[in-house]
Structure 1
Amino acid sequence: MAPKAQKRKPTTKKTNKMEEEIMSEPRHNMVAYLDPEGKLDAYKEITQWLRESRINKAITLSTPVYKPLIKEIWNSANVIKVDGKELIQGQVNKLNVDVSPDILNSVLELQDDGNAPDSIPIMCTRGCLLRMKCTGDIFAGQINKAKLPLQYKFLLHVLIQCLSESRAGYDMAGMISLV
């Protein structure tokens, strides 16, 4: 049996760009293309639903996020409680930065209810996967998008690429249950 070919990360072209310029290129700050002209018939319903959803601004807002600033805030981050609510406090360019669910809700215009659940029980997640006609193993720890119908593949792709902190080929069931 022949050995499997090793997968390599794609090499990036070396240029004289500063790290801030590289980290603001589109491949690092994904936004959803929601087909405003409605030309993609297979995605028409799901793109319209996403345009009308509360997460529209979060998935379509193009804001450069620079890796050095992310590192800086996490290197100085502390979790503190203010009025019984937890928030992350850190520093960026020697300025104090506070991040809380309320601030994110306001900036991204999510219209979240503070008393709404922040996760979905695994049995409900599995039920949703069945209703979406998932052909994969719904009891596995990982869900493969390829086992979902086209519209739901697109939905999960948008959520993962636009809202998660990393790029991965597999979607953890726990991540899906948070959505």
Structure 2
Amino acid sequence: MTRCFAIFIGLFLVGCKSTFDQNNTLTIKPQVEQFISIYQARVDFDAFLKLYADSAQLEDLVYGHHALGKSEIAAFYNWNGGNFKVIDDLKTFELINLLVDEQQRHALITGRFNEFIYHGQNLGPWRFVMTLQFNEKGLITHQQDWINYTPKSDFMTGKNLNKTIP
């Protein structure tokens, strides 16, 4: 019985999202890589949302949007809305650079969104910089996006988030 319990606990721990190094310190790189992979594929919205803490914040600074909590983040992304399609069945975006600071639980991602169709309009490609901050459980608590939206006139009507620094 003890042996079965030990095997069960071992399998459970292997299946957990959080990864720890030899000093039993949380490492976030696997979570960051999972975020990138799920976002690029853009098919499993539930798995994507599970990467966020319940009280997470998302700031799209150029668009001027601030989402507070998982439900507002879900509404902002709205993958299930059916209004988005990547042209030529490419990934949603291409990764250019990834920097991970394990001590600060922070990641910096640069990339390029591939061309896509949104509400019938062809958009992209757009370059971006994204920062992610993680909590002690390996969940995203803060995301900040800087996306080079074009055409500029379609995306410059948002709020000035410079006045609401978290």
More strand, by proportion: 2
- Looking at CA atoms only, which structure, 1 or 2, has the larger radius of gyration? 1
Specify which structure has the bigger relative contact order, considering alpha-carbon pairs within 8 angstroms and separated by 6 or more residues: 2
More helix, by proportion: 1
- TM-based fold match above 0.5: no
**Which bin holds the TM-score, normalised by the shorter protein?**
under 0.3
State the TM-score, normalized to the length of structure 1: 0.18
State the TM-score, normalized to the length of structure 2: 0.19
